[in-house]
Amino acid sequence: MLVPLSYNLRSLFVRRVSTLLTVVGIGATVAVVAGVISLQQGFKTMFAASGREDVAIFLRPGATNEGDSMFTRERALTLTKKVPEIAVDDEEAPLAAMECYLAVRLNRLGGGETNVPIRGVQPATFAIHGEDLRIVEGRHFEPGTDEVIVGQRLPGRMQSCRLGDAIQINITPFRVVGVFASNGPFDTEIWGDLDRMLESLERIGPNRVMARLRPATDLAALAERMKEDKEVPSQVQSERDYLTSQTTYLSATLLFLGGFLGLVMGTAAVFTATNTMLAAVTARTHEIGILLSTGFRPLPIFFSFLFESLVLGLLGGAVGCLFTLPLNGVQTGTTNFNTFTEVAFAFRVTPPVLLGAVLFSLVLGLLGGAWPAWRAARLEPTAALRRQ
């Protein structure tokens, strides 16, 4: 026969100060861990979710990101023309674009310097991105001029990034004429005309080539072929794979931080839960004696106290989720160590994060309740009854 669950719920209510303190303690632990994980989620999804599967990125063989990659202009041009898998537009021109890329110094609005990516693009770049990229303020830059457009996260974070401002690149000032939105990492980039950028940066060629692929292209086969290409060997991957590969270091750091804090703070939370449950058991020794002498077996008593501890954990998990939820959507920024450039992203408190937080809190409750519940189950009925 099981001990009625209401017995435990009432007991939690009777000792409400103690219950509340334990619950908030577990909640703070869960909230810290869930906060770090939702930061990692926000960072990772921003990159992965904005990358397209039908867009291919061509890099120099061996390059791990576009900053390392480099093609001469002629070779890049050859690349855009010779690959039959590249889709074409209405005028039979290939949907392929050369891009140059450099992280430039900019000052934050609040002071301090950071590196912001600047990208030289071609008209085809916009054709490739299509609806994924739109102007939200001002207008497009005029090709061939010293005009740039900036990602929507920049004007609120960096100096000289508002409409009408001038961004000095080496000795050339570029005027900001528009703000664009992309839902992805491009939101913290500055875009301008490829040829003007190459000239002002004294570069001989673009960093990468990107292209829209024809439907049903076998990307793996294309990558295999281009690796061995005699004329222009290159490393090909989908835009989604490329962007995902740019998240490894920061993602791993945040996951490590989350795991480490979970372990350390979790230990402390288990100690607290054990303390609370031990006190609960001690205070109810007499009642346990009554339960035992009226025919309840030790095992149901064990489960009864374990259940109480799980409820404690679950309440803590709920409080933790409540602490974490307001973080959802909050923007923050740091340096992405793969590219050494500033990225802005939002906390993403997703259902899996919340589910993980609840599971974590249940584990804390389980670990914290096991020993006290076992002790309760092992009490001698006569000795327990004698305790006042």
Partner 1 sequence: MLRLVLRNLLKHPLRSLLTVGSLVVALFLLCLLRSLVTALNAGVEAANAQRLIVQSAVSLFVDLPTSYQTKIEAVDGVASVAKWQWFGGYYQDPGNFFAQFAVDGAELFDMYPELEIVEGSQEGFLARRTSCVIGEGLVRDFGWKVGETIPIIGALFPGPGGEAWQFDVAAVYRPTRPNLDPRTLFFHWDYFAQTEREITGEEPKVGVFVTRLAPGADATAVMATVDSLFANGPQRVQTTTEAEFNRQFVSMVGNLPRFIGAIGGGVLLAILLACVNTMLMAGREQTHDVGILKALGFTNASVLRLLLVQSFVLCGVGGGLGILLAISSAAGIAATMGQYFPGYEVRTATILLAAAVTIGIGFLAGIFPAWQAGRRSPVEDLRATI
> Would you count residue 21 as binding partner 1 (CB under 8 A)?
yes
Residue 253: CB minimum distance to partner 1, A: 9
Q: Looking at 76-84, 165-173, 228-236, 350-358, which segment touches partner 1 (CB under 8 A)? A: 165-173
Q: Looking at 27-35, 119-127, 183-191, 293-301, which segment touches partner 1 (CB under 8 A)? A: 27-35
Residue 268: CB minimum distance to partner 1, A: 4
> Would you count residue 148 as binding partner 1 (CB under 8 A)?
no
**Residue 324, C-beta contacts closer than 8 angstroms, at least 6 positions apart:** 30, 31, 34, 35, 38, 349, 353, 354, 357
- Among 272, 309, 338, 361, interactor with partner 1 by CB under 8 A: 272
> Would you give the distance in Å from CA 86 to the centre of its chain?
31
- Among 115, 244, 245, 328, interactor with partner 1 by CB under 8 A: 115
- Among 93, 283, 290, 359, interactor with partner 1 by CB under 8 A: 283
Q: What is the C-alpha separation between 359 and 320, in angstroms, rounded?
A: 12
Residue 346 · residue 332 · CB < 8 Å: yes
Look at the chain and count its residues: 388
> Would you count residue 26 as binding partner 1 (CB under 8 A)?
yes
Question: Which residue's CB is nearer to partner 1, number 41 or number 217?
Answer: 41
Q: What is the DSSP string of 105-159?
A: EEEBTTS-EEEEEEEEE-HHHHHHHGGG-EEEEE-PPPTTSSEEEEETTSTTTBT
By CB under 8 A, the residues from 46 to 75 that bind partner 1 are 67-68
Retrieve residue 136's tokens. Answer: 């939200």
Residue 2 DSSP label: P
CA distances from 207 to 48, 72, 324 (A): 21, 9, 40
- Hey, how many other C-beta atoms are within 10 angstroms of the C-beta on 277? 26
> Would you count residue 276 as binding partner 1 (CB under 8 A)?
yes
Q: Looking at 73-81, 91-99, 129-137, 277-285, which segment touches partner 1 (CB under 8 A)? A: 277-285
> Would you count residue 319 as binding partner 1 (CB under 8 A)?
no
Q: What is the C-alpha separation between 10 and 16, in angstroms, rounded?
A: 10
Nearest to 14 by CA among 291, 283, 278, 306: 283
Residue 144: CB minimum distance to partner 1, A: 21
- Using CB under 8 A, list all residues that contact partner 1: 17-18, 21-22, 24-26, 28-29, 31-32, 35-36, 67-68, 102-105, 108, 112-115, 169-171, 201-202, 261, 264-265, 267-269, 271-272, 274-276, 278-279, 282-283, 332-335, 340, 342, 388
